[in-house]
Amino acid sequence: MGKSLLIIGEPGTGKTRAALNLDPKETVIVSPNNKELPFKGGSAKFSAEKQNFFKIENFEGVKKVIEGVNGKMPHVKCIIIED
């Protein structure tokens, strides 16, 4: 079973930027607001083509992505929900 970590802070304080320090081969980022990553250099490491960035239009889609990662991507160690 995995561990959960919640990071809360004001907009623009670097919460998601921490993802740049994670291995993009072992990390998936989900955007439930269908937005691009909010930090410079994010799209170079995380993209739909690399199958480690998913833009979703609703929170039900987040559940589907998590279930898909759990069942089909055993190499992924970290899932970030960027909202």
Domain ranges of the chain: 21-81
The whole-angstrom separation of Cα 25 and Cα 77 is 9
Q: Which residues pair with 29 in a beta bridge?
A: 53, 80
> What pLDDT score does 1 carry?
55
Residue of 4 and 67 predicted with greater confidence:
67
- 10 Å CB burial of residue 10 (0-12, 13-18, 19+) is exposed
Sheet containing 53-55: order of strands? 53-55, 27-31, 78-81
> What pLDDT score does 83 carry?
76
pTM of the model: 0.85
Q: Give residue-wise pLDDT tens across range 4-58.
A: 788 888 888 888 777 788 899 999 999 988 888 877 888 889 999 999 999 998 8
The whole-angstrom separation of Cα 44 and Cα 39 is 11
The whole-angstrom separation of Cα 42 and Cα 74 is 23
Mean pLDDT for the stretch of residues 59-79: 92
